Structure 1
């Protein structure tokens, strides 16, 4: 019986380490959460009201990109552009959409031939963004976030 008490007492002393509560700070918890984020993806892409009927995330993204491309292309097509040679080029337009849904033109990569033939192409692109419908910003973990993306627009002038 004495050995049993001795064994029980020894087990009690050794097992006390299992009951220690490790304290973690809120900074440690935050750092662990930040490591799990995929910063290059959002839960919902920016969208127009007309794209909210789409079901999947990729469909909404495609709808937004197609709508934006169509708006820019229609505006450029409405303007009279006179060229000395045919122009068929893809312009890569880099946008940023703020947390409030404001679209900003960051950069337009235009080929030198297209720039020479259509010297005001930057103005045409910028003016096509003046009359956009309301943009709903991207959402990440329930918060509206700033996003940036590049959109290809095909320019064809005969």
Structure 2
């Protein structure tokens, strides 16, 4: 019986080594997770209330860009951008949607262009592009995040 119990004790103490596994450190796990995240894409794009009803992610994104472009065009068509520069038929607007749903608009000009009155166009955009409907920010891993994108806005000459 002594030999049997001694054998059991020996097995018990040595068998714990079989179950021991190397546990990665917190920093290693964090680095692995950070490398796995695609930082260039969001899980859900910003959206408007009208687009929230759409289930398909791509269609919801298309709806958001379409409605936002239409809203910007409507606000800018009533202004003097086309009179200020008749050659200006399309303007690219960099839209920033912050995590708190705030919006910022910034005109984008060709790098080689000095012909545009940048200060005047920027002031017109800041004055006109206000009072937008509530925009839900983009979501990345369940957290609202800031997103930026460029929308081409066609200015109509009436």
Q: TM-score, with normalisation over the residues of structure 1? A: 0.75
Instruction: Find the aligned partners of 2:21 and 2:80 in 1 and give their Cα distance.
Output: 74
Residue 139 of structure 2 corresponds to which residue in structure 1? 139
- 1:95-134 alignment runs, 5 A limit: 95-105=95-105, 107-110=106-109, 112=113, 115=116, 120-134=120-134
RMSD (CA atoms): 3.0
- 1:27-46 alignment runs, 5 A limit: 27-46=27-46
Instruction: Find the aligned partners of 1:82 and 1:108 in 2 and give their Cα distance.
Output: 15
What is the count of residue pairs matched by the alignment?
145
Q: Any idea what the Cα deviations from partners look like across 1:54-104, whole Å, max 9, x if unmatched?
A: 221111211111111111111111235673874353211112111111111
Q: TM-score, with normalisation over the residues of structure 2? A: 0.75
Question: Which is richer in strand?
Answer: 1
Unaligned runs of 5+ in 1: 1-14
